[in-house]
Amino acid sequence: MKAIVQDRYGPPETLKLADVDVPVPAADEVLVRVEAAALNAYDWHAMRGDPRMARLAMGRSKPRARIRGRDFAGRVEAVGTHVRQVRPGDAVFGDLGDANGAFAEYVCVPEAMVAPKPANLTPQQAAALPLAGITALMGLRDVGQVQPGHRVLINGASGGVGTLAVQLAKILGATVTGVCSTRNVDLVRSLGADHVVDYTRDDFTHDARRHDILFDLVGNRSLTALRRALTPTGTLVLSGGGVYRGGSLIGPVWLLTRGQLLAPFVRHRIVALAAAPSREHLDTLRAHAETGRLTPVIDRSYPLHEVPQAIRYLEGEHARAKVVITI
Ligand SMILES: NC(=O)c1ccc[n+]([C@@H]2O[C@H](COP(=O)([O-])OP(=O)(O)OC[C@H]3O[C@@H](n4cnc5c(N)ncnc54)[C@H](OP(=O)(O)O)[C@@H]3O)[C@@H](O)[C@H]2O)c1
């Protein structure tokens, strides 16, 4: 099969289209013919081995997982001997987590980690949901504990996670403020945001409006500034972020670490988010998608051999919602 492989850390040029063996499913795995995959910020961190601290988990001198990509949607081709719930021909979607491997014609994935594809979504839309949607769902529902009537601010509302977070916050009954640049104001409003702050004109940390939950997807503001935008007992959910400036030891983890160190000493709840794929999250995302209230926005679609160009675009950190790969 064709796959995007990488034998050393580095820029997009280190990614190559190669012929590799089709993987064979273990007893508890399913083999999926990939129809679409999606990019996440995770992919360029994994590609560059950046921050360098992450190499302890991803592989010291080169990526342990040779094929890049996490999110996929496709058709089940074959199943292992212990698989009970999934059958050949089923349309599924999922997130391969640190195993990677989605930028390929086939992937093997544990049965427990795939879910039926939302019936009303295209493969590209379904592939756009897992990691970004799980991050948004965990940040708002699980960690942020958003309740109806809460005021929620999403910094980075026009990105892959942000566009899903705006919609999920509305589903959870919140009054939503989205922060984005001028060109994305209409998009964020169209997703349901009640208020939109154009960061090129206004500074949300000096706004009179205070928020019960602030979900930060950019990482460009200090903890002091972010906390200024919260109610006295509000919750700050940190996801990482921070503009890439080439090779750093801990990169976006620095803001998260400082947040965790500060948390015991302040009234605000400060939580560093670590998204982890689960079947329950995929099922919840599918349910919301099938009601028509959660629709991934696709910015660009690239063919498999153009994954390097797609990642180059994403790491500019100005993609509008999701970038997908059609296979
Ligand atoms: N902790 C976790 O488990 C976890 C999981 C997933 C993702 N993340 C992190 O979450 C962050 C967001 O991910 P993503 O996939 O949404 O990234 P993304 O799609 O690359 O985000 C791009 C968006 O960021 C916006 N942006 C750039 N600068 C901004 C600023 N100063 N203020 C507000 N918005 C700004 C851009 O809008 P404009 O073009 O309008 O500026 C663009 O729409 C990433 O840093 C990622 O690493 C963490």
Residue 88, in any domain of the structure: yes
Per residue in 203-245, pLDDT (tens digit) is 999 999 999 999 999 998 999 999 999 999 999 999 976 655 5
Structural domain count of the chain: 2
Answer yes or no: do 96 and 158 share one domain. Answer: no
Answer yes or no: do 145 and 232 share one domain. Answer: yes
Cis peptide before 51 (omega within 30 of 0): yes
Work out the pLDDT band at 53, boundaries 50, 70, 90: confident
* C-alpha distance from residue 299 to each of 125, 221, 222, 265 (Å): 11, 26, 29, 41
Calculate how far, in angstroms, residue 33's C-alpha sits from the geometric centre of ligand 1: 29
Per residue in 76-128, pLDDT (tens digit) is 999 999 999 999 999 999 999 999 999 999 999 999 999 999 999 999 999 99
Per residue in 149-190, pLDDT (tens digit) is 999 999 999 999 999 999 999 999 999 999 999 999 999 999
Residue 277, in any domain of the structure: no
CATH number for position 46: 3.90.180.10
Answer yes or no: do 121 and 154 share one domain. Answer: no
Answer yes or no: do 110 and 156 share one domain. Answer: no
What is the pLDDT at residue 240?
Answer: 79
Mean residue pLDDT of the chain comes to 95
| Ligand 1 site, CB within 6 A | 40-41, 131-132, 135, 155-156, 158-162, 179-181, 184, 199, 217-218, 220, 239-241, 252, 273-275, 314, 317-320
For residue 299, give both structure tokens: 């910015």
Residue 46, in any domain of the structure: yes
Residue 41, in any domain of the structure: yes
Residue 101's domain comprises 2-129+296-326
